[in-house]
Amino acid sequence: MKTKRHGAVVGLIAAGALLLTACGSDNNAGSGAPTNTSGVPVECGGKTKLNAEGSSAQKNAIDTFIQAYQQRCPGSDLAYNASGSGTGVKNFNAGQVDFGGSDSALSKDKGEVEAAAKRCATNPAWHLPLVFGPVAIGYKLNGVQDLVLNGDVTAKIFNGGIKKWNDPAIKALNSSATLPDKDITVVYRSDESGTTDNFQKYLKIASKGAWTQGDGKQFKGGVGEGKEKSAGVAQAAGSVDGAITYVELSFAQENKLSLAKLDNGSGPVELTSESVGKAIDGAKIKGEGNDLVLDLDSIYGSTTAGAYPLLLATYEIVCSKGYDADTAKAIRAFLTVAATDGQAGLADAGYAPVPKSFQDKLLTAIKAIA
């Protein structure tokens, strides 16, 4: 597969970038063996073609991982269906795929944690955060290329409290811009999406009360038009003057959307390598042991100067135990490559590589999958 290139984000390897310094030898090393660029050994073999499904936000990252996996483990492959986080979780829990991809953790209240344990032969599922990506607030507004928003105003746009681009609240944040008397067209994800869940969690925290609709994988703002998947919302927003949406950076770039700066209380912050790195540095783990669930609330509500506070972490949801031996071996190999060699290509695909602070924990968890 060919990885989609996004030159504008090559610099995303920043403070939160993965610095692979581990020593070791490739178990497959020998005459003609693929180059081990990370120094981390990979035990290839087992099931020759894995199946996974879920988050469309991480599709380009998975493509990058597959390329690295095929190079490190010739003859091995993975098929990934970017059906959305909700479908990925459902089909993982139903045992239809080997692992799922989701932009938010399994919900205990919805029975997802229990269902996953049942699927994993009464063993818990683990969340492995292998893909970090900033969520852009992308818009198309002729004549306006430099727009500042904050949590309060963004919440009111996406729940219908602000309907015009020249609303006084938007003007107050953009005194030097000429804002048109034009209706705002909100475009949201109509399918269940971890991107939606993260965006609504950001609004709930960052708006300081302006967003009362709650969170979850279904959009609850009550306004706008819905489109399926990340590509769908980005394409729709890019075709309408006056449109605004929330979408992963790579999709916003593909559709030539303008990107809003976010003011978290310490001044407008542009989506850059430095601002994403500062945000990732603030992420904390709230899961236990090898279940690496992240606590992103401190990021969404951060007032750290220069930090871009709106990002998501995509999890690969795996069984801690319960696989047959061939499947477990192949999953360990794929995820090891994804956490090491595969990270090197993520900046070109619009993502931020896994932070160093997560590298050792990821590899420890991956090694323990059985």
Residues tagged in the binding site annotation: 55-57, 85, 103, 193-195
Convert 177-208 to b/e letters by CB count within 10 Å (16 or more is b): bebeeeebbbbbbbbbbbbbbbbbbbbbbbbe
Give, in order, the Cα–Cα distances in Å from 282 to each of 168, 223, 366.
33, 32, 23
| Rounded Cα–Cα distance for residues 173 and 202 (Å) | 19
> In terms of Cα–Cα distance, which of 217, 214, 221 is closest to 191?
217
Q: Which pair of tokens denotes residue 231?
A: 């590509």
Q: Which pair of tokens denotes residue 106?
A: 């399994």
Q: Count of CB atoms within 10 A of residue 104's CB? A: 28
Q: Count of CB atoms within 10 A of residue 165's CB? A: 22
**Binding site for phosphate: what residues are annotated?**
55-57, 85, 103, 193-195
Q: Count of CB atoms within 10 A of residue 226's CB? A: 16
